[in-house]
Structure 1
Amino acid sequence: MHNAQSSFRALLHALIERLCRRYKLAFSLAVCLCLGFPAHADNAVVSPNIALSETSSTSANTDTITNTASAKDISSHTPVTESMANKNLITDNVSLASAMPSDFNKTSNEPRNKTSNEPSLYALLDAEFSENRDDTERALVIYKQQSFKQDATAVFERALSLSLRNDRVEESLQFAKAWQDENPDHVPAWFYVAHLALRAHDYELAGETLNRILSYDPRADLSEILIGIYPNSDEDKRELLSALQPIDSEQNASLSVLKAGLLYQFNEPKIAIVHINRALERQPDYVPFITLKADILRKIETPKAVIKYLNQARLRNADSKNLYLYEIRYLLDLKQNEKAWQLLLDAHQRFADDAEITLLAALVSLDIEKYTSADQLLNTLAKNPAYLDQSYYYLGISAERQQNFEQAKYYLNAVMQEDLVLEARRKMVALDLLNDDVDAAIATLEKLRKDFSVFAPDSFVLQADILWQQNESAAALRLLTKAARQYPDNEMLLFARAQLLDDKEDYIVKRTLLNHLQALDPSNPAYQLSYAQLLLANERGSEQGLALATAIIQIRYDDPRYDNELHLQALNVLASNALANEKYQQVIDYLQTPYDVLPTLRSGTLLLRAYQGLGDNEKVDALLADLQQRFSFGQHNINDRIQLY
């Protein structure tokens, strides 16, 4: 064995000059893996060398491995065992021939070691060269086979690292478990298996392995194991909690916190508090533990008690910005804005150079109408180049709320940050229209599309809306038609154009446009509602139109597609159709509750006509008076509106 190892070292020196430039990384890594000291279990748990949170993915290369006849017996996804390793499935001769330069065999007559139980340098070189050539599957086959040889811990870790990047997590777990079974005293392997079992949702194996680790060292650092393993589904969370419950975690902060978090999510705060307190006994000033306890306390204690706990924790950790922010946001949740503002000013004094704190203090100042404080904070923030545009934007908002409209326009016009500029120009346009300066509003939009071509479609839509409000519908339609030729695939322009078309006179063109939009985005409720309105305007009993509008009002509020404005519009469409069919009670069923919660003129006028149809004069008089008071419309205005619906 000694002679064989000496031969490898001699070969290494002979090859360095020739290969280091071409294969520097692969060669160095292979030598380190082969000649490195073997790693054995110590008396204490050691941290694994592999990044356990590394994202796994399906192997990119599934082609049959060539150039190595015996390698076809296994694949990179096969859990290689020690018995396989001893068969020398990948021979030194074949590996070297496929991995080295073509002239290597001509110049080297060194004997090859085919009987060693230790990893083969030639095979490892072959694996590294394969990895460099993106033949990951071949590299994995070689590394997995070599990892089961004697003193091959470093090879195992390299194999597992590649597996984590290229295999499914279940395959990495299968390999790690097979290696750990062959090397039961190698403690870091326990960590790998525990982490991978958690990621693969094999909670029974994870529980067994974690229990084994904690039996060996009750205070073992499990933080690396627990990174990135938190399950998403309730079923998986329950399985994980069930696997963890029998494990004694009293002395282990990491596991206590994991249990506490799961119990908190399952609304068992009284049990969760026991586990988080155990974690805090070990790490009393660790901020994530403190905030988790605060989350749990919010379910079982009064706000006063929670704030007291946060105050005490913040005083012990006076330099923790996160504790300040947690308490401030909690106060804002409680609508205690004045207290949150005072605490924000304290935080601003302590963290004077922290832009996030300064911005938050400015925004809360705006929210509670402390404009002097807001302007002072924003002007301070404007000295930071990274926050200049945000400062100008909110200074514009502050000036607008104080009715300093020209100053507001000055600040808003100075905003150049792309994610803020569109909203800033919208506000400028609104201020121009408030001043009846249509030309200035249009000039702002024309400059916007000149300076920021990405927002050209938005500017055309805004300009068309201005023209429509000025009763220039034909000009608005011409503008959008011209813009659509310039941006033929822009859905925003196509939909805005469709909205301006008449449901009856332009039926064919509008239907074509809306069908095209629905083909582009079949789940868009705005397109569906517009199409439903078109169908019902041309056929009162259109089953498709009714089905589309009904589907929109049935979208749940917690659905990402839910939109309160669209929901109300769909109710109005259904109510308008019911009114046209003289189903007056149905109109009331659709709209009375929404009108009571969020009254709009259109809903009110539809309700008014329904009560008129039923001959309920008392309701008619009451609703008419309410409409006149809410919307400042006289009798003739209301009657005109009624005729529109």
Structure 2
Amino acid sequence: MDFFKFLYRSRSAFDYADDNPFGISTLLNAIIKRLQQRRKLTLLLAACLCLAAPCYAHAHIFSPLLEAILPRSSSEKPQASTAATDTVTSDTKITLPTDLSNPSTTTAPAVELELTKQPRPPLSEPSLYALLDAEFAANRGNTRRALVLYKQQSFKEDATAVFERALGFSLNNEDVHESLDFAKSWLDQNPDHVPAWFYVAHLALKAHDYTLAGETLNRILRYDPRADLSEILIGIYPENDDDQRELLAALQPIDSQQNASLSVLKAGLLNQFNDPQNALIHINRALLTQPDYVPFITLKADILRKIESTETVLSYVNQARLRNPDSKNLYLYEIRYLLDLKQSQQAWELLLKAQNRFNDDNEITLLAALVSLDVEQYRTADQLLNILVKSPAYLDQAYYYLGISAERQQRFEQAKYYLNAVVREDLVLAAREKVVSFELLNDNIEGAINTLQLLRQQYPVFAPDSYVMQADILWQHNEAEKALQLLTRVSRKYPDNELILFARAQLLDDSKDYLIKRTLLNHLQALDPSNLSYQLSYAQLLLANNRSSEQGLELAKNLIQIRYDDPRYDNELQLQALNLLASNALATENYAQVINYLQTPYDVLPTLRSGELLLRAYQGLGADEKVEALLADLQQRFSFGQRNVNDRVQLY
């Protein structure tokens, strides 16, 4: 009993030792000395439990430690690590350490330990003292010491549990490349430890070391072709094309015929790189093992969409859905595919079936309501949206779309009621904009401005938007001076708000306010150099004051050269740039250039401004037949011009 009395007294010493590193070292030495004298299992357990008791605030802190040291307490010599020799089959799943599959974002000072370059400690069992020291260091936030100690001890004999603890700790506190180097070094010393193959494969994929990943995956699959690779592949899909191509190149030589996880990964990459025929081969292999697994089915459908007719794809998805009637995702896939095909009526009918089957699923109910609005089934839409009103999470969306439904049925007062009830921030601005438009329909300018004032009181984040909308209302009602004064005043409150600054610049006159407008537009371009609207407005200002401005012409021409597949492409913006260049060419009587700029855009998407410029160009060329034909088209489309044809021609 004297030993237990000693441990009990030791517990109180930890309170002092917590702030005294020399104290804890002395205490640990004393405990270990006693343990060496009394090596029974009960004493070892009692020591660990007594040591752990003062650390009750850090639950399970000694769990990995106990796992590491308990096998050493047996009266028999421990066998080789069973984890290293277990056969991995399709029914055996290697689970990565929690920290490995989802590393923490916690950062810590880098550890200057390069295990591959330092002499390895002599092989022996891990030191209890060192493990306790490492755990206490980790508990006190001294990650550097904890990492060094854990890594050192993991290279000793039968230290599998210590390695896994060290690897998880490394992932929480080190770069993935450092963790990979550690895991690789450990595997070099323990080449038959199968779980370590999985760790290294996963880390190699995360570190984009696809050569090592391919070699390790190949090694795993030679050992067990049906090994479960799902844990390895979690969160490793690269984002950029180069890494994806490198990953595909590393996976291609690996025989994945019997491995569904790898077959699917190959299929996804091949499909992405426009090789649907080979992708189909791999996804079919995966489906042989799991024919009703929904992610595999939808991937095959994605592949089929590139090489088969829509009827074939729809038939495949429909049959898969009938085999899996409780799969919500297959319903949604087929519905969205029908919507992509512009088959809204069929999508709506299938949605109603889905809503009946999953009547407590708000996502499907909302989608059914939206498609009902799209196909003008307003009664059904209202019924479905009123179901969603009962759900707090969907209440605002229900009110917003009930307002849209009422608007489309021209019940404007009811629409205002619903839209004014919307309070969710991501919907409230759009809802209030519609309320303002309803007030303006009735020429209720005061009501529209009151709505905007209330909006900025309730939601200060939308104050700049409300001021810009208010200025627009004033401008539309021939009060441009008041609108400019309003924006000038609020720009002092929001000096770098681009929305207000740009709206103010748009109200300034190109000639009279040239210097102020140029200063504003230069400031805006400094705030956002990539904004094409700012560039177009600046080009317009330059050309309005100098028809031969090289900078203005270059800016406008750069805008019209943006390809339709460029993410920056904006159809409306490009048409404005074409109109600007055409207007400039018209001012210099370059009529052929005007036609060159605008004839094709007008044929594709006619607008009044483009038509006016074309009309004046044909008139300048004396092309009377073209003038008459275009004039008739403008009158039909836009009610353009006067009764007398000659007057119309001269007017424009």
Q: TM-score, normalised by structure 2?
A: 0.86
Could you tell me which amino acid in structure 1 is paired with residue 388 of structure 2?
L
Residue 595 of structure 1 is matched in structure 2 by 602
SS in 2 for 1:151: coil
- TM-superposition CA deviations, 1:371-391 (whole Å, max 9, x none): 111111111221212111111
Deviation of 1:590 after TM superposition, in Å, equals 1.6
Instruction: Quote the residue 2:627 is aligned against.
Output: 620
Q: Which residue of 2 aligns with 1:276?
A: 283
One-letter identity of the residue aligned with 2:419: L
Deviations 1:200-257 (A, max 9, x none): 2322322221122122222111001111222233333333223323322222111111
Matched, 1:40 2:84: yes
Mapped to 2, the partners of 1:182 and 1:318 lie a distance apart of 51
One of 106, 109, 119 as aligned partner of 1:61? 109
Structure 1 residues 562 and 489: alpha-carbon distance in aligned structure 2, compared to 1, 3 A threshold: same
Aligned counterpart for 1:604 among listed residues 594, 599, 611: 611
Q: Deviations over 1:398-436 (max 9, x none)?
A: 111111122212211111111111111111111222222
**Post-superposition CA distance 1:71-117 (Å, at most 9, x none):** xxxx14x244794233xxxxxxxxxxxxxxxxxxxxxxxxxxxxx82
424-433 vs 363-372, which deviates more?
A: 424-433
For the pair 1:548 / 2:555, whether they are aligned, the reply is yes
Alignment match, 2:368:
361
1:432 equivalent in structure 2: 439
- The 2-side partners of 1:389 and 1:643 are apart by 54
Question: Counterpart of 2:54?
Answer: 21
Between 515-524 and 162-171, report the one with greater CA deviation. 162-171
Q: What is the TM-score of this pair, normalised by structure 1?
A: 0.87
CA distance in 1: counterparts of 2:332 and 2:351, whole angstroms: 8
How do 1:298-337 residues align onto structure 2 when only pairs under 5 Å count? 298-337=305-344
Distance 2:517 2:202 in 1: 57
Distance 1:590 1:598, change over 3 A: same
Equivalent in 136, 156, 163 of residue 163 of structure 2: 156
Q: Is residue 57–residue 167 contact of structure 1 (8 Å, CA) maintained in 2?
A: no
Deviation at residue 640 of structure 1 after TM alignment: 11
How far apart in 2 are the matches of 1:412 and 1:272? 48
- TM-superposed deviation, 1:523: 1.2
Change (3 A) 1:19 1:168: closer
Contact 1:80 1:148 in 2 (8 A): no
* Aligned-residue offset at 1:289: 0.7
Q: Does 1:123 align with 2:130?
A: yes
User: Given the superposition, is the C-alpha separation of residues 342 and 506 from structure 1 closer, same or farther in structure 2, using an over 3 Å criterion?
Assistant: same
Q: Distance in 1 between matches of 2:144 and 2:302?
A: 46
**What does residue range 65-104 of structure 1 map to in structure 2 within 5 Å?**
75-76=112-113, 78-80=114-116, 83-86=119-122
Q: 2:188 corresponds to which residue? A: 181
Q: Residue deviations 1:422-459, cap 9 Å, x none?
A: 11111111122222222222221122112222111111
Cα distance change of structure 1 residues 199 and 639 upon mapping to structure 2, 3 Å threshold: farther
From the superposition, tell whether residues 50 and 439 of structure 1 become closer, same or farther in structure 2 (CA, over 3 Å). same
1:639–1:510: structure 2 CA closer, same or farther, 3 Å change rule?
farther
Seen in structure 2, the aligned counterparts of structure 1 residues 7 and 549 have a Cα distance that, compared at 3 Å, is farther
SS at match of 2:62: helix
What letter is aligned with 2:600? T
1:530–1:41 distance in 2 versus 1, CA, 3 Å: same
Q: Are residues 622 and 131 of structure 1, via their aligned partners in 2, closer, same or farther at CA, if it must alter by over 3 Å? A: farther
Of the candidates 494, 514, 517, which is equivalent to residue 507 of structure 1? Answer: 514
Contact 1:514 1:527 (8 Å CA) reproduced:
yes
Letter in 2 for 1:290: I
Paired with 2:407 and 2:651, the residues of 1 have a C-alpha distance of 35
Q: Which moved more, 1:218-227 or 1:487-496?
A: 487-496
Q: 1:570 aligns with which of 577, 580, 583?
A: 577
2:398 to 388, 391, 399: 391
Q: Is the 8 A contact 2:403 2:416 kept in 1?
A: yes
Unmatched segments (≥5 aa) in structure 1: 66-74, 87-115
- Which deviations, in whole Å up to 9, do the C-alpha atoms of 1:525-552 show, x marking residues without a partner? 1111111111111111111212222222
2:6 is aligned to none
What is the CA–CA distance in structure 1 between the aligned matches of 2:644 and 2:514, rounded to whole Å? 29
Residue 458, structure 1, aligned to residue 460, structure 2? no
- Structure 1 residues 136, 23: CA separation in 2 closer, same or farther (over 3 Å shift)? farther
Partner-residue secondary structure (3-state), 2:338: helix
Q: 1:109-151 deviations in whole A, cap 9, x for unaligned?
A: xxxxxxx822223333343344344443343232222211112
Q: Partners in 1 of 2:289 and 2:118 — Cα distance?
A: 41
Cα shift readout 1:148-206 (whole Å, capped 9, x = no counterpart): 11121122112222332333333222221111111011111000111122222322322
Q: 1:217 to 1:612 in 2, by over 3 A?
A: same
| One-letter amino acid of the structure 2 residue matched with residue 54 of structure 1 | N
How far apart in 2 are the matches of 1:188 and 1:195? Answer: 11
Q: Which has the higher contact order (CA 8 A, sep 6+)?
A: 1
Q: Deviations over 1:313-342 (max 9, x none)?
A: 111111110000001111111222111111
What do residues 37-87 of structure 1 show as CA deviations (whole Å, max 9, x unaligned)?
Answer: 45433123551342443348796424xx8xxxxxxxxx14x244794233x
> Cα gap change, 1:571/1:134 in structure 2, threshold over 3 Å: closer, same or farther?
farther
* Distance in 1 of aligned mates of 2:222 and 2:179: 25
Q: Distance in 1 between matches of 2:294 and 2:159?
A: 40
Counterpart Cα distance in 2 of 1:309 and 1:264: 18
Distance 2:557 2:140 in 1: 57
Aligned sequence identity (%):
70
In 2, the alpha carbon distance for the partners of 1:276 and 1:535 equals 58
Q: How many residues align?
A: 604
- Displacement of 1:16 after TM fit? 5.7
- 8 Å Cα contact 2:96-2:199 kept in structure 1: no
Unaligned runs of 5+ in 2: 1-31, 72-80
| Secondary structure of residue in 1 paired with 2:120 | helix
- Kindly indicate whether the alpha-carbon contact (under 8 Å) linking 1:46 and 1:187 is maintained by their aligned counterparts in 2: no
2: distance between equivalents of 1:443 and 1:266?
Answer: 55
C-alpha spacing 1:572/1:640, structure 2 compared with 1 (3 Å):
farther
Deviation at 1:15, TM superposition (A): 7.6
Give the superposition deviation at 1:280.
Answer: 1.3
Map 1:522-537 to 2 at 5 A. 522-537=529-544
Measured after TM superposition, the shift of residue 500 of structure 1 is 0.5
User: Distance in 1 between the 2:555 and 2:37 partners?
Assistant: 78
Distance in 2, matches of 1:121 and 1:297, equals 59
Task: Tell me how far apart the structure 1 counterparts of residues 612 and 471 of structure 2 sit (CA, whole Å).
Answer: 27
1:27 to partner: Cα distance: 5.3
Residue of structure 2 in register with 1:142 after alignment: 149
Alpha-carbon contact 2:52-2:62 (below 8 Å) kept: no
| Alpha-carbon offset, residue 482 of structure 1 | 1.9
Deviation of residue 639 (structure 1)? 10
Q: CA deviation at 1:30?
A: 6.2
